[in-house]
């Protein structure tokens, strides 16, 4: 397989995943913006959404003050923002188009019709009341893409590179949301355990579609920061947890290792990160600092991405 094909498959999946995550983040921002402003700290929700999406700086450079409608437009439709939903879907589709031959018809048509439908949507029609419907559409399309991929692609290198992009992006996303919410939204020790606290953690879970799963899993309707963090970092039952994503990253890398008959540095980096999660416990993580832990994780995740690119000759 061409190095460029591998690279395109990887980025195609990464960008679809990123579009879906962006939709989830906006869902949360939108929900909070609808809440009565009584709970202090919520007025900053759009800023926090931008930070979680790693778009705060580029937004401020372009628009200055935070304004709900502008934030929504920036994160959904602004093509100068490479992480907007529109940019993500465009990049994903361009990557897919470049390697059309490596995709099944179902995967390609899923990507292509998503893009065609999006091109028909006028941003000015996505007013606040129609936002939830649109975000739902984005999520559905992303899930449809993944379904086509899982259901029709041969389990060869095409599939493995797509999976790597998907789960490395998801890992980065979960880690970033947890880090931002924890670090920025809870700066004051006095807030811990307050109503505000509970609300914030509920939103963290919501942004990874895990608020109900949490209750089922812990048989507890009260969100505890400790458990929420554990759920999103260490629980492999949870499909957006860091450990879960690394299980899949390793499966894909093992697949490549077996197919090509060689293992490289990227296999070791991934295994190390996986083992740290597998053997980790929350007590220790909190003791050493959750923020530091997450920063380390994101750095390792990023170096894995780079190592994969070098190893498999991405252009």
Return the number of the residue (111 or 290) whose C-beta is nearest another protein.
111
Return the number of the residue (36 or 261) whose C-beta is nearest another protein.
261
Return the number of the residue (94 or 209) whose C-beta is nearest another protein.
94
Q: How far apart are CA 140 and CA 10, in angstroms?
A: 20
Distances (CA, A) of 176 to 45, 195, 297: 16, 23, 10
- The least distance separating another protein from the CB of residue 308, rounded to whole angstroms, comes to 10
Stretch that binds another protein, among 51-59, 102-110, 167-175, 193-201 (CB under 8 A): 102-110
Which residue matches tokens 């800023």? 47
Q: Provide the Cα torsion 43, 48, 53, 58; round to 10°.
A: 80
For position 77 contacting another protein by CB under 8 A, the verdict is: no
For position 309 contacting another protein by CB under 8 A, the verdict is: no
Per-residue x/- marks for another protein, 158-187, CB under 8 A? ---x--------------------------
For position 260 contacting another protein by CB under 8 A, the verdict is: yes
For position 306 contacting another protein by CB under 8 A, the verdict is: no
Give how many residues touch another protein by CB under 8 A. 25
Stretch that binds another protein, among 39-47, 51-59, 91-99, 183-191 (CB under 8 A): 91-99
**Would you say 225 and 182 are in contact if contact means Cβ atoms under 8 Å apart?**
yes
Q: Which of residues 13-32 bind another protein (CB under 8 A)?
A: none
Return the number of the residue (111 or 234) whose C-beta is nearest another protein.
111
> HEC states along 252-308?
HHHHHHHHHCCCCHHHHHHHHHHHHHHCCCHHHHHHHCHHHHHHHHHHHHHHHHHHH
Q: How far apart are CA 87 and CA 92, in angstroms?
A: 8
**Would you say 14 and 309 are in contact if contact means Cβ atoms under 8 Å apart?**
no
């Amino acid at each position: 397989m061409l190095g460029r094909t591998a690279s395109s498959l990887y980025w195609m999946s990464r960008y679809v995943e990123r579009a879906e995550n962006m939709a989830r983040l906006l869902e949360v921002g939108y929900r909070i913006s609808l809440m009565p402003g009584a709970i202090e700290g919520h007025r900053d929700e759009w800023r926090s959404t931008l930070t979680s999406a790693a778009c705060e700086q580029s937004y401020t450079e372009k628009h200055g003050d935070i304004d709900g409608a502008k934030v929504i437009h920036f994160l959904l439709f602004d093509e100068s923002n490479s992480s907007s939903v529109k940019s993500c879907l465009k990049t994903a589709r361009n990557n897919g188009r470049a390697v059309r031959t490596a995709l099944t018809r179902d995967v390609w048509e899923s990507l292509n019709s998503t893009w065609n439908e999006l091109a028909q949507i006028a941003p000015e029609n996505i007013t606040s009341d129609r936002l939830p419907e649109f975000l739902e559409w984005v999520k559905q399309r992303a899930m449809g893409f993944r379904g086509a991929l899982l259901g029709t692609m041969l389990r060869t290198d095409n599939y493995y590179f797509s999976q790597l992009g998907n789960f490395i992006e998801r890992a980065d996303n979960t880690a970033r949301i947890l880090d931002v919410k924890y670090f920025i939204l809870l700066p004051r020790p006095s807030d811990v355990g307050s109503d505000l606290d509970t609300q914030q953690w509920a939103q963290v879970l919501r942004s990874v579609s895990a608020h109900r799963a949490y209750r089922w899993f812990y048989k507890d309707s009260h969100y505890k920061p400790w458990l929420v963090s554990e759920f999103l970092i260490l629980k492999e039952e949870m499909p957006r947890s860091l450990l879960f994503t690394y299980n899949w990253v390793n499966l894909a890398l093992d697949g490549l290792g077996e197919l090509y008959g060689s293992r490289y540095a990227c296999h070791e980096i991934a295994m190390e990160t996986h083992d740290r999660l597998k053997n980790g416990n929350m007590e220790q993580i909190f003791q050493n600092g959750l923020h530091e832990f997450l920063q380390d994780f994101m750095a390792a995740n990023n170096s894995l991405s780079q190592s994969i690119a070098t190893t498999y000759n991405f252009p």
